[in-house]
Amino acid sequence: MDLPTVFPNSKHRMSFDLHLKEQKALALYCLKWCALGTWVGVLSGTASAAFLAALGWATNTRVQHPLLLWGLPLAGAATGWVYSRYGKSVEGGNNLVLDTIHDPKQAIPFRMAPLILISTVATHLFGGSAGREGTAVQMGGTLATASVGPLRLSRLDHRVLIMAGVAGGFGSVFGTPIAGMVFGMEVLAVGRMQYDGLLPCLVASFVGDLVCRKLGIQHHLYSVSTVPDLESITLPLVVLAGVFFALASQMFIEATAYVHRTVNKWIPMPWLRTAAGGLAVALLGTILGSEYLGLSLPLIERSFDVQSQAPWVFAVKILLTAITLGCGFKGGEVTPLFCIGATLGSAFAGITHQPTSFFAGLGFVAVFAGAANTPLACAIMGIELFGAKMAVPLAITCSISYILSGHRGIYLSQRISTRKGESADGEKMQTLRQNRTGIVASENVVLEVGGFVISEDPSEEKS
Whole domain around residue 158: which residue ranges?
Answer: 29-214
Claim to verify: residue 204 and residue 83 sit in the same structural domain: yes
Higher pLDDT, 410 or 437: 410
Higher pLDDT, 207 or 1: 207
Whole-number average pLDDT of the chain: 87
Claim to verify: residue 209 and residue 257 sit in the same structural domain: no
Claim to verify: residue 327 and residue 358 sit in the same structural domain: yes
User: What pLDDT is stored for residue 253 in this prediction?
Assistant: 96
Per-residue confidence band for 44, with pLDDT thresholds at 50, 70 and 90: very high
| DSSP classification of residue 457 | -
Q: Check whether 430 has a pLDDT greater than 70.
A: yes
Per-residue confidence band for 134, with pLDDT thresholds at 50, 70 and 90: confident
pLDDT digits (tens, 9 = 90+) for 227-253: 998 887 789 999 999 999 999 999 999
User: What pLDDT is stored for residue 178 in this prediction?
Assistant: 97
Claim to verify: residue 55 and residue 119 sit in the same structural domain: yes
Claim to verify: residue 353 and residue 381 sit in the same structural domain: yes
| DSSP classification of residue 290 | G
Task: Examine residue 458 and state whether it is found in any structural domain, yes or no.
Answer: no
Claim to verify: residue 150 and residue 190 sit in the same structural domain: yes
CA 387 to CA 408: how far, in whole Å? 30
Q: Check whether 457 has a pLDDT greater than 70.
A: no
Q: Check whether 461 has a pLDDT greater than 50.
A: no
DSSP string computed for 28-43: HHHHHHHHHHHHHHHH
Task: Examine residue 442 and state whether it is found in any structural domain, yes or no.
Answer: no
Q: Strand pairing of 415-416 and 189-190?
A: parallel
Asked whether 295 and 58 are in contact (CB, 8 A), the reply is no
Q: Check whether 100 has a pLDDT greater than 90.
A: no
Q: Check whether 61 has a pLDDT greater than 90.
A: yes
Claim to verify: residue 172 and residue 318 sit in the same structural domain: no
Task: Examine residue 251 and state whether it is found in any structural domain, yes or no.
Answer: yes
Asked whether 447 and 139 are in contact (CB, 8 A), the reply is no
User: What pLDDT is stored for residue 220 in this prediction?
Assistant: 86
Higher pLDDT, 318 or 437: 318
Q: Kindly give the residue spans of alpha helices, DSSP state H, lying in 222-374.
A: 234-266, 270-288, 297-303, 313-326, 334-352, 356-372
CA 303 to CA 22: how far, in whole Å? 53
Claim to verify: residue 197 and residue 327 sit in the same structural domain: no
Q: Which residues pair with 448 in a beta bridge?
A: 453
Going from the C-alpha of 388 to that of each of 224, 309, 315, 381, the distances in angstroms are 11, 25, 30, 11
Claim to verify: residue 316 and residue 396 sit in the same structural domain: yes
- Average pLDDT value for residue range 60-89: 94
Domains of the chain: total: 2
Of 185, 214, 243, the position where a domain reaches its end is 214
Claim to verify: residue 147 and residue 36 sit in the same structural domain: yes
Whole-number CA gyration radius for the chain: 23
Per cent of the chain over pLDDT 70 is 88
pLDDT digits (tens, 9 = 90+) for 339-395: 999 999 999 999 999 999 999 999 999 999 999 999 999 999 999 999 999 999 999
Task: Examine residue 445 and state whether it is found in any structural domain, yes or no.
Answer: no
Per-residue confidence band for 39, with pLDDT thresholds at 50, 70 and 90: very high
User: What pLDDT is stored for residue 438 in this prediction?
Assistant: 65
List the one residue out of 405, 397, 336 whose CA is nearest residue 361: 397
